[in-house]
Amino acid sequence: MTDLHGRSVVVTGGARGIGAAVAHTLAKSGAGVVVADLLEREGRDTAAAIGTQAMFCHLDVTDESEWRRVLDDAEANFGPLAVLVNNAGILDFGGVESESPSQFRHVLDVNLVGSWLGMHLAAPRLRAAGDGVIVNVSSTAGLIGYSGIAGYVASKWGLRGLTKAAALELGAAGIRVCSVHPGPIRTPMTAAMDPSVAAGQPLARFGEPEEVAAMVGFVVTEATFSTGSEFVLDGGATAGASLVLPS
């Protein structure tokens, strides 16, 4: 899918950070982009910065009726749906013992169930259009475990698995489904993190939202033989242990 002209794209969590960068990148491919988020002021600012081929829509990803409205608005304003980017997510600190049941469920509701709702409702529209791409923004926390963020890790592993199940189900309809797995990226969500988090990576820095957006753009427009695949941007963090061998 190299030409998105006359088609619509929905980016959840599109108001800022990775989502905003993705919205800007996919707009360059000719699509009409819906910036979908709870953050109204920032979302409208992002859409305005893209221009007339973008619009903001309020979206609580856990609300099925809001999902239906957003998808309806996307197609009414910009044409048949081409791409869904499930980027909206939350991070709640808490381990297996310390995280409350309500906190754990809330993280899964937003990060996993919210993404499933979007896929569930977008898939028939993509079938009707004849093709499409779904990109689920997971995390390195969907590839390895981390201590102290049990709900987040569970949600991102779940999203990785959901991606593969959907790829198997939807491939015959010409719909590709892939996951993107960023490591630490410089966004409002990670602003309070100590920079030393990235010190042990081969590329010892935080990534930038535009680097993730470039990968999403590649998955959508260039990786046309990839589905059910995982695309990792983590500065080498998950490549393995760094050992200094004696010379």
Mean pLDDT for the stretch of residues 159-184 = 98
Residue 244 has pLDDT above 80, yes or no: no
What does the pLDDT look like over 136-145, one tens digit per residue? Answer: 999 999 999 9
Provide the pLDDT for residue 121.
98
Q: Which long-range contacts (CB under 8 A, 24 or more apart) does 56-63 make?
A: 56/15, 59/12, 59/88, 61/12, 61/86, 61/88, 61/110, 61/114, 61/115, 61/117, 61/118, 62/109, 62/110, 62/113, 62/114, 62/117
Q: What is the tens place of the pLDDT at every residue in 106-128?
A: 999 999 999 999 999 999 999 99
pLDDT, average across residues 140-155: 96
Residue 68 has pLDDT above 80, yes or no: yes
Residue 243 pLDDT > 60? no
pLDDT interval class at 190 (50, 70, 90): confident
What is the enclosing helix (H) or strand (E) of 103? helix 101-108
Alpha-carbon torsion (47, 50, 15, 71), positive or negative: positive
Q: What are phi and psi of 131, to 5 degrees?
A: -170, 180
Active site residues: 152
In a 3-state reduction of DSSP, which class is residue 226?
coil
Q: What is the pLDDT of residue 188?
A: 82
Residue 115: count other Cβ atoms within 10 Å of its Cβ: 27
Q: How far apart are CA 113 and CA 118, in angstroms?
A: 9
Which residues partner with 178 through β-bridges? 135
Q: Which domains are present in the chain? A: 8-233 (3.40.50.720)
Residue 178 confidence class, pLDDT cut points 50, 70, 90: very high
Q: What is the pLDDT of residue 195?
A: 77
Query: Are 119 and 162 a contacting pair, CB within 8 Å?
Result: yes
What pairs with residue 37 in β-bridges?
58
pLDDT of 146 > 60? The answer is yes
Question: What are the angstrom distances between the C-alpha of 98 and each of 92, 94, 166?
Answer: 11, 5, 33
- For residues 185 and 187, what is the distance between their CA atoms, to the nearest angstrom? 6
Q: What is the reported pTM?
A: 0.95
How confident is the model at residue 194, as a pLDDT? 75
